[in-house]
Amino acid sequence: MLSRRLKLLIGGLFALAAVVPLLRTEANQAVDYARDIQPILAGACYQCHGAGRVMGQLRLDDKQLAMKVIVPGKSGESRLLRRILGEGDEARMPLGGDPLTPEQIALVRAWIDQGATWPDGPAAAPAKLEKHWAFVAPTRPPLPQVKNKSWVRNPIDSFVLAKLEEKGLAPSPEAAKLTLLRRLSLDLTGLPPTLAEIDKFLADQRPDAYEKVVDRLLASPHYGERWGRHWLDVARYADTNGFEKDLARSIWPYRDWVIEALNRDLPFDQFATEQLAGDLLPGATLEQRIATGFLRNSMLNQEGGVDPEQFRVEGIIDRVDAVGKAFLGLTVACAQCHTHKFDPIPHREYYQFYAFLNSDDEPEVEVPGEEVTKKRAEIMAQVAKIEADLVASDPGLSGRMAAWEERARQEKQDWVVLEDATIFAAFGTKFDRLEDGSFMAKGDNSTGNNYVIKARTPLKNITGFRLELLTDPNLPRSGPGRSNEGGLFVSEFSVEAAPADKPEALEKVALGGVTADFSHPDFPVKNVIDGDLKTAWSIDAGPGRRNQDRKAVFATKTPVGFDGGTNLTLQVAQKQDTTISLQGGKPNIGRFRLSVTTTPSPLADPVPAAVRRVLAVPAASRTREQLHEVYLYYLTVDPQGAAALKAIDEVMKAWPYGPTTLALAPRPIPRETRLFKRGDWRKPAEAVEPGVPAALHPFPQDAPKNRLGLARWIVDPMNPLTPRVIVNRFWQQYFGQGLVTTPEDFGARCDRPSHPELLDWLATEFVRQKWSMKGMHRLIVTSAAYRQSSRVTPRLEEADPENRWLARAPRFRVEAEIIRDIALAAAGLLSPKIGGPSVYPAIPDGVLNLSYGAPMKWEASTGEDRYRRAMYTFWKRAVPYPSLLVFDAPNADFACARRIRSNTPLQALTTLNDKMFMEAAQGLALRAWKEGGIDDRSRMVYAFRLCTGRRPDAFELQHLMALLREQQIYFRGKTAEAVYVSAADMDDLPVGVDLHRIAPWAVVARALLNLDETMTKE
Amino acid sequence: MNYGDEIRREARKLVTRRHFFKDCGVGLGSVALASLLDGRLFAQGKTADPLAAKKPHFPAKAKRVIYLFQAGAPSQLDLFDYKPGLAKYNGKPVPESIAKEQMYAFIKPDAGLYATEFKFARHGKSGAELSDALPHLARVADDIAVVKSMVTDAINHAPGQIFMNTGSQQFGRPSLGAWVTYGLGSESQDLPGFVVLSSAGGTSGGASNWGCGFLPSVYQGVPFRRTGEPILSLSSPRGITRETQRRTLDTLKALNEHHQALTGDREIATRINAFEMAFRMQESAPELTDLTRESKETLELYGATPGKGSYANNCLLARRLVERGVRFVQLYHEAWDHHSEVVKGVRTQCKATDQASAALVQDLKQRGLLDDTLVIWGGEFGRTPMVESNPDADRSMGRDHHNKAFSMWLAGGGIKRGVTLGETDELGFTAAVDPVHVHDLHATVLHLLGFDHTKLTHRFQGRDFRLTDVHGEVVEKLLA
């Protein structure tokens, strides 16, 4: 029956729509260009065929040009009509836009058939196109007049109420006090209120009790977690690199920075600047460098055989996208391949924007933390004391050292870098060639590689080869290796040579000896020419002294080189030897350089490169660290140094390392950015300079053309987008949808704001309040609009089913993380600990098998970390944590400005049956039993309050008690079942309770945790 | 009057009255409307049953899909694409004119050519040319269409799989299965619309292979587990009996309905439905995955052994799933990345898969399901005509990744039977005749399911996205 009604209705609408234009455009009714046609063209066509942009060399705002597609009197032959009808093989116009209505099409047809009269004169001059509203800086609108003045608590309400009155709607009454407290707590901290907080608030009769709670919640450290998690959605925060290998990364210090910044209410302009360019701020602090992790959250492809440049480019494209969505509400990414179809972002300007983000090193920054810093200072003090004691006890030392330095400075070596060289490695590892002729390994980092370098040199009489292992900010702990600690080892080095004109006559070059500036005592450098792949050279100098440039020099037995040039094949083998477990991870070489010399009997310069660099500094102007660097090295060559060195080695063994985080640092030599034709990185075209879209506000004149300048441009008070975009996302979190419902897209195709003036007022207020985020939250939650009841009356359902006009508060399911937090909080299990490395709550067996290769190690956290807030769950991109993913947590592959909110059976299975949720039910049962009072009724009320905050009514109580009683009967004498249902851990049964009595409560608690109300913000 | 707004407003009312999808005899106009409305409504969680069956743009040949994804990229040169030219030049380096055009993951472009070591023969009335690694497929040669001229954009596994599934190398787009489920809903009331099965290793593309991108998450693939409960959290916790579960749900229902009366929020009814469907899923899934219910003949046909997480079991399970109305079943068998010893690798994997793949076609046919079930077999790209040998990586006599020519086969659901489409050049480097790009494959699959691939769209970030982006042409030569 209903289906018939619907068909009739839709049929009716179609018919109506078809009839109306016919009536209006009867042949005898003259169509007027200015009245009927120009508005249609302006609305649907000018955007791409107007003064701003001239797609396909067609302008429809210019009579002469427009006539290219119009044959007056013959609509059938006019291309204009064919295209808007979508006839023939070509796409319907407007491309990507809604089709013209039948009425509009009929008007155009009639106008052409009537001769397409396009009068010259004032009407002929196209009206100047108005700029899209979101690209014009907001001006502060006056507060609208409203009738029901007493309802208004703050300016937000004036705007909301004015719209309601315009629509003939009235606001809902204020929600119950308890509802408000739970709503506020969930919105501001993501946690349900405790029973004590509820009781206190209900008892507080002061007029500003509500505001006091708001202040308390905004001051809670959990506020930073709650709003930090929202920000992490657009920051696409994750704990792995993504793609096939999906290796773990350490960037949680960035997550903690976000939480901490929000808790201290870092003004948004500063919040944005530090994330975009914290490292470029004068005197940048470690925290400010950590903040640049925002940009580093891009995925990284380490699959074997990838071209690292392709995925580096994709990483930058992702950063452009994230900046666009997080700060500008612009889908900039659309202009990657072509000029943006709907927004004024030409292809070229995309790459200018990209250029801001395309010139950085990608270091891992160490975040030592208090403990490590303190311990290091202690160690350095001990070392200083050993050094001072030695100087005091050995008066000749300074003189010997000065003489050594004099000699050392005069040693000169002549090395020629093998510039004309190519490299090939096992496992598809690829290399960047750097400006100094060194190779930088990228992509696959499987253990046991072999680098094969083919080079050509004009030199003859080559007496030696030098392998330099070089540090680089882009390597773990600066390298020079690729293990987690920047370590490496070399198992064999070999050279073959052939005349350039006879390349097939390749012969092995006999090596006479090898020297290095450093070897681990157990892994001497001679191992690399012993013909045994199992023995190796290690440069691990121990804690605190790894991660230095090192070198080895190989002398040839007889000079090498042919007239007419020489082809060389050099192999640097790094075969895995299971007996070598130094430095963990995968010890392949990260960055290295090869050189040759003709100096007879070459030896490795024993002075390490770092020390050489200090020696170049005049003694008087050396820093403490530099003096120490030289001194420490000198002890290794001084005849009396051994004892002190041993003592220092002993002390240094305790050198601690802190965690690292991914950050940015500008490249010393900027990287050139080229436009990519059709977005294809293999098709670079002309070079572009950093720049911002011309359609937006101008780049600040005195700002540098780098990320810092970009940040200043973004937080410029002239910026029409950022303040609107940010307050709109705030609004979305509270009300379920933004004033603009497409928070990621404020471009020409976004939905019109429901309350344009309110949006502009909030945006200007945000700037006026010096970008205080807490200030905006306080403003929103203290409005009468926010404090309304969420009850959906039939009248509201009818009048405004989507609640766009806000005649009530929204009512919706909380986010994935909060579902879990509520359950654990109700059970009394939730850990309040803030920050730190991500944790590994139990994950169902087999889930990790879905990702490639051996499943990653997931040792379930124990103790407190088992029950941390869900936002600290280790986020593995290839296999996101199932019970969070199922509730629409974004998978962090790219920036997410708006979560989907679905309602599915798999969610029901999760909250009913997932182990963690069952543990929560068991916890809640035990808690109700122990704390809930002396009888079942009071326990039931207690458990119910822990889940929903309120007391059950008679109906609810009756049903729940009935369930309880049934279960009590069922579990009587069923010991095994009672144990299963009431306890998570067979080895750790709760003591002092009869599990036969707890089990029925676990069943009831499980029901309570699954109530719609428990997981809903009302 | 704005006609679009009017219709939207009316439809929205109907949808919120939760009759729109379920109760209306959906005609063409209303389907267009539904897809027009989907995005906004789902984003706000205001729909009755987004998985309710929907009709496509035009009458469809195929009603459901079983996609046998051979992850890792099988060697087309050792299975489908016989190249006598390679035998002629076996071991010789690639001519420079060809080499300079190529991009490879692991090998140098001048590596030696490598002729297949398998014997090829023609089979069936159609005379399809297959290697002797595929004796079972040979039996159904007249039921399938082999495409020897597939082309893709990616040469690395994760991007390649993501591209094959979503039409984009960048993560975050909806997969084919998600699009199909979005467009057609599901015929099943108690199973997910899009089910993912896997044997062998985990996939390079990870969960994004069956992700829903910006589509509502109800359309993402639900991975079934190989052992234990087939769906995550399907079983009630230990000690919770069916009776207890039912009573719990009854209590929940009573309390939720009670609360709905107070709050007026219709979303609560949707939640009640979700819990009820979860219960039905608990009831039906164990029966579904219990292969002991199949006859001995059927088990033998597939080579299936109940209880094992094998490819053969998954093929049989796929048939059981589509019989129960599941719209899209995707099997992953990640085991074809033969950088070394391609002969041994291909033989081993064919042993594991050939019989069951062929059995699926045969079984669907004998049950009358093949006509409207589309079966797709293929990997994310192909393998090189050159050999991969690299002692440093312990690799010898393998083949590297190759994107410019590879083979797939399709069957049923409106696919022409017993044809071989496309040809590669003399040495198998490029698709020379009738190239079929991944976008074309997608367009064809959607066509068979009754969709104009340019019109199955979803508005996101101000743009109407589609599976085929701005590309794709239906491969008419494959249509029955």
pLDDT tens digits, one per residue of A597-615:
999 999 999 999 999 999 9
Nearest to A959 among B1, B108, B251 (CB): B251
- Assess contact for A104 and A664: CB atoms under 8 A: no
In a domain, A954, yes or no: yes
Smallest CA–CA distance from B104 into chain A, residue: A305
Q: How confident is the model at residue A33 (pLDDT cuts 50, 70, 90)?
A: confident
User: Minimum mean pLDDT among A219-223, A317-321, A627-631, B4-8: which range?
Assistant: B4-8
Q: Which of residues 471-530 of A touch B (CB under 8 A)?
A: none
Domain assignment present for A832: no
- Cβ distance A853 to B232 less than 8 Å, yes or no, reads no
Neighbours of A523 (CB within 10 A): 22
Q: How many CB atoms lie within 10 A of CB A756?
A: 17
Q: DSSP labels for A414-437?
A: --EE--SEEEEEGGG-EEEEPTTS
Handedness of CA A592, A597, A601, A605 (dihedral sign): negative
pLDDT in tens, B40-87: 333 333 445 778 888 999 999 999 999 999 999 999 999 999 999 999
C-alpha span between A346 and A335 (Å, rounded): 6
Same domain for A122 and A37, yes or no, is yes
Residue A342 banded pLDDT, cuts 50, 70, 90: low
Per-residue pLDDT, A334: 66
Say how far apart CA A671 and CA A684 lie, in whole Å.
14
Contacts of A427 in chain B (CB under 8 A): 106, 393
Q: Are residues A325 and A308 in the same domain?
A: yes
**Is it the case that residue A10 has pLDDT exceeding 60?**
no
What does the pLDDT read at residue A1010? Answer: 98
Q: Which residues of A touch B256 (CB under 8 A)?
A: 1011-1012
Q: Give mean pLDDT, residues A920-934.
A: 95
CA distance A185 to B205: 39
Model confidence at B331: pLDDT above 80:
yes
Please enumerate in sequence order all residues whose Cβ is within 8 A of that of B296, keeping only pairs 6 or more positions apart, or say none: none
pLDDT above 90 as % of chain B: 71
pLDDT at A114 over 80: yes
Chain A, 254 to 273: residues with Cβ < 8 Å from chain B are none
Q: In whole angstroms, what is the distance from residue B247 CA to residue A1006 CA?
A: 12
By CB atoms closer than 10 A (0-12, 13-18, 19+), residue A655 is middle
Instruction: Tell me which of A681, A699, A719 is where a domain ends.
Output: A719
Residue A582 has pLDDT above 60, yes or no: no
Stated as kind and residue range, the H or E segment containing B408 is strand B406-411
Record the tokens describing residue A567, joined without a space.
């082809």
Specify whether A522 is located in the same domain as A579. yes
Sort strands A1016-1017 and B64-69 into parallel, antiparallel or unpaired: unpaired
Chain A nearest C-alpha distance from B469 (Å): 12
The whole-number average pLDDT for the span A141-165 is 97
> Which residues in chain B are contacts of A981 at CB distance < 8 A?
237-240
Which residue has 């039993």 as its token pair? A929
Helix (H) or strand (E) holding B67: strand B64-69
Residues 6+ apart with CB under 8 A from B76: B148, B382, B383, B405, B406, B407, B428
Task: Establish whether the linkage from the previous residue to A94 is cis, with ω within 30° of 0.
Answer: yes
Write down the pLDDT at residue B353: 97
Of B244, B251, B267, Cβ closest to residue A960: B251
Please tell me the distance in Å from B440's CA to the nearest CA on chain A.
Answer: 17
What is the distance between the alpha carbons of residues B262 and A867, in angstroms, rounded to a whole number?
34
Judged by CB atoms closer than 8 Å, whether chains meet at B462 and A908 is answered as: no
Tell me whether A334 touches chain B (CB under 8 Å). Answer: yes
pLDDT tens digits along B214-270: 887 789 899 998 877 889 999 999 999 999 999 999 999 999 999 999 999 988 998
Tokens of A541: 């100098």
Q: Which of A778, A811, A844 is the last residue of a domain?
A: A811
How many alpha carbons lie under 13 Å from residue A973 in its C-beta half-sphere? Answer: 2
Beta-carbon contacts below 8 Å between A and B: 312
In this prediction, residue A341 carries a pLDDT of: 62
Mean pLDDT score of chain B, rounded to an integer?
88
Residues A476 and A524 in one domain: yes
What is the structure's pLDDT at A577?
60
Q: How many residues does chain B have?
A: 480
Tokens of A10: 């839709």
Task: Answer yes or no: do A612 and A498 share one domain.
Answer: yes
What is the nearest CA distance from A122 to chain B, expressed in angstroms?
A: 28
A845:B277 CB<8 A: no
What size, in residues, is chain A?
1018
Residue whose entry in the numeric block shows the structure tokens 């088990």: B299
- Bridge partners (DSSP) listed for residue B381: none
Tell me, yes or no, whether A714 and A760 share the same domain. no
Residue from B149, B299, B281, B276 nearest B222 by CA? B281
Percentage above 90 pLDDT, chain A? 67
Query: Which pLDDT value is given to residue A121?
Result: 54
Task: Specify whether the CB–CB gap between A1012 and A907 falls below 8 A.
Answer: no
Residue A124 has pLDDT above 70, yes or no: no
| pLDDT confidence of residue B24 | 27
* Token pair in block for residue A825: 């909080």
Lowest mean pLDDT among B67-71, B409-413, B456-460: B456-460
pLDDT at B27 over 50: no
Question: What domains appear along chain B, each with residue ranges and CATH number?
Answer: 1-48 (no CATH), 64-226+309-478 (3.40.720.10), 231-292 (no CATH)
- Out of A427, A798, A966, name the one closest to residue B393 (CB): A427
The predicted structure's pLDDT at residue B462 = 67
In a domain, A14, yes or no: no
Residues A616 and A745 in one domain: no
> pLDDT tens-digit profile of A499-548?
999 999 999 999 999 999 999 998 999 999 999 888 889 999 989 988 99
Q: Among A19, A33, A156, A347, which Cα is nearest to A781's? A: A156
| A677 plus A546 within the same structural domain | no
Helix (H) or strand (E) holding A573: strand A566-573
B180: left (phi over 0), alpha (psi -120 to 50) or beta: alpha
Same domain, A283 and A142: no
- Out of B30, B282, B461, whose CB is closest to A745? B461
Q: Which residues of A touch B43 (CB under 8 A)?
A: 737, 741, 898, 900-901
Sign of CA dihedral A720, A725, A726, A727: positive
- The band of A73, judged by pLDDT with boundaries at 50, 70 and 90, is confident
Gyration radius of chain B over CA positions:
24
Going by C-beta distance under 8 Å and a sequence separation of 6 or more, which residues neighbour residue A137? A697, A717, A718, A719, A720
* Chain A interface test: which of B233, B236, B388, B466 (most A C-beta within 10 Å): B233
In a domain? residue A8: no
Average pLDDT over residues A634-646: 89
What is the average per-residue pLDDT within A844-853?
81
Which residues of chain B make contact with A903, given a CB cutoff of 8 A? 45, 267, 270-271, 274
Q: Is the pLDDT of residue A854 over 70?
A: no
What average pLDDT does this structure show over A347-370?
A: 94
Residue written as token pair 């889940």 = A947
- Of the given ranges (A616-620, A806-810, A830-834), which has the lowest mean pLDDT? A616-620
State the average pLDDT over residues B89-94. Answer: 90
User: Is residue A407 within 8 Å of A561, Cβ to Cβ?
Assistant: no
Q: What would the mean pLDDT of A401-409 be, rounded to a whole number?
A: 90
Instruction: Give contacts of B222 with chain A, Cβ < 8 Å.
Output: 906
Q: Which of A1, A3, A135 to mutate to test the interface with B (most CBs of B within 10 A)?
A: A3
Round to whole Å and give the CA distance between B438 and A238: 30
SS3 A181: helix
Asked if the model's pLDDT at residue A15 lies above 50, the reply is no
- Does the CB of A797 have a partner CB in chain B at under 8 Å? yes
Quick one: CA dihedral B184, B187, B190, B192, positive or negative? negative
In a 3-state reduction of DSSP, which class is residue B405?
A: coil
Nearest to A1000 by CA among B424, B275, B244: B244
A positions 806-825 inside 8 Å of B (CB): 811-813
Say if residue A162 is in the same domain as residue A311: no
Mutation pick from A887, A904, A995 vs chain B, by most beta carbons of B within 10 Å, is A904
pLDDT tens digits, one per residue of A284-328:
999 999 999 999 999 999 888 888 899 999 999 999 999 999 999
Pick from A561, A567, A566, A555: which is nearest to A511 by CA? A555
Q: Decide if A852 and B464 are in contact by the 8 Å CB cutoff.
A: no
**Which amino acid does the sequence have at A510?**
A
CB contact under 8 A, B204 and A303: yes
Domain count along chain A: 5
Q: What percent of chain B has pLDDT over 70?
A: 89
ipTM value: 0.84
Surface of A (282-321) touching B: CB under 8 A: 299, 301, 303-307, 314, 317
Q: Is the CB of residue A186 less than 8 Å from the CB of residue A814?
A: yes
Name the A residues in 929-958 with CB < 8 Å from any B CB: 955-956
The per-residue pLDDT for range A562-571, each reduced to its tens digit, is: 999 999 999 9
Q: How confident is the model at residue A439 (pLDDT cuts 50, 70, 90)?
A: very high
B137 pLDDT above the threshold of 50: yes
Residue B317, pLDDT score? 96
Backbone torsions φ then ψ of B149, nearest 5 degrees: -125, 40
Mean of per-residue pLDDT scores for chain A: 90
Q: How confident is the model at residue A54 (pLDDT cuts 50, 70, 90)?
A: low
Of A925-934, A979-988, A992-1001, B70-79, which range is least confident? Answer: A979-988
- Contacts within 8 Å (CB) and 24+ apart, A355-358: A355/A673, A355/A688, A355/A689, A355/A690, A355/A691, A356/A690, A356/A705, A356/A706, A356/A707, A356/A709, A356/A710, A357/A295, A357/A316, A357/A319, A357/A320, A357/A323, A357/A707, A357/A710, A358/A316, A358/A671, A358/A673
Q: Are residues A115 and A38 in the same domain?
A: yes
* Residues A321 and A234: beta-carbon distance below 8 Å: no
Which position has the higher pLDDT, A186 or A576? A186
Does residue A58 carry a pLDDT above 80?
Answer: no
Of the two residues B228 and B124, the one the predictor is more confident about is B124
Residues of A in contact with B7 (CB under 8 A): 10, 13
For the segment A225-251, the average pLDDT, to the nearest whole number, is 95
Q: How far apart are CA A633 and CA A911, in angstroms?
A: 62
- Residue-level pLDDT at A57: 67
Structural domain contains residue A831: no
Q: Mark yes or no for CB contact B234/A955 under 8 Å.
A: no
Interface of A with B in 18-57 (CB under 8 A): 20
A455-459, A482-486, A961-965, range with the lowest pLDDT: A482-486
Quote the CA–CA distance of A762 and A955 in Å, as a whole number: 44
- Indicate yes or no: CB of B108 within 8 angstroms of CB of A101: no
Residue A724 banded pLDDT, cuts 50, 70, 90 = very high
CB contact under 8 A, B156 and A305: yes
Distance from CA of A903 to the nearest CA of B (A): 6
Q: What is the pLDDT of residue A102?
A: 84
Give yes or no for residue A751 having a pLDDT over 90. no
**pLDDT, mean of residues A239-250:** 92
Residue A854 resides in a domain: no
Name every chain B residue with its beta carbon within 8 A of the beta carbon of A747. Answer: 462
Q: Is A294 helix (H, G, I), strand (E, B) or coil?
A: helix
The torsion angles phi and psi of B65, rounded to 5 degrees, stand at: -130, 140
Residues in chain A with CB shorter than 8 Å from the CB of B282 are: 909
CA dihedral A643, A580, A549, A378 (to 10 degrees): -50
Put simply, the answer to whether B239 touches A999 (Cβ < 8 Å) is yes
Residues A325 and A235 sit within 8 Å (Cβ to Cβ) = no
Residue A354 lies in a domain: yes
B10 to chain A nearest CA, in Å?
9
| Chain-chain contact of A906 with B222 (C-beta, under 8 angstroms) | yes
Instruction: Pick A87 or A942 by higher pLDDT.
Output: A942
Please identify, among A811, A830, A851, the residue that sits at the C-terminal boundary of a domain: A811
Residue A325 domain boundaries: 267-366+658-719
CB < 8 Å & 24+ apart, contacts of A755-759: A755/A159, A755/A160, A755/A163, A756/A133, A757/A141, A757/A144, A757/A159, A758/A156, A758/A159, A758/A160, A759/A138, A759/A724, A759/A727, A759/A728
pLDDT for B188 equals 87
Q: Give how far B218 is from chain A: nearest CA, Å.
A: 7
Phi, psi (degrees; rounded to nearest 5) at A555: -90, 135
Instruction: List the structure tokens of A263.
Output: 């808790």
For A535, half-sphere exposure in the C-beta direction (CA atoms, 13 angstrom radius) is 13
Q: Which of A452, A882, A900 sits opposite B216 (nearest CB)?
A: A900
Confidence of residue A333 (pLDDT cuts 50, 70, 90): low
The answer to the question of residue A877 being in a domain is: no
- Clarify whether residues A446 and A575 are in a common domain: yes
Per-position DSSP letters for B222-260, written without gaps between them? EEPPSSSSSSTT-SPPTT--HHHHHHHHHHHHHHHHHHH
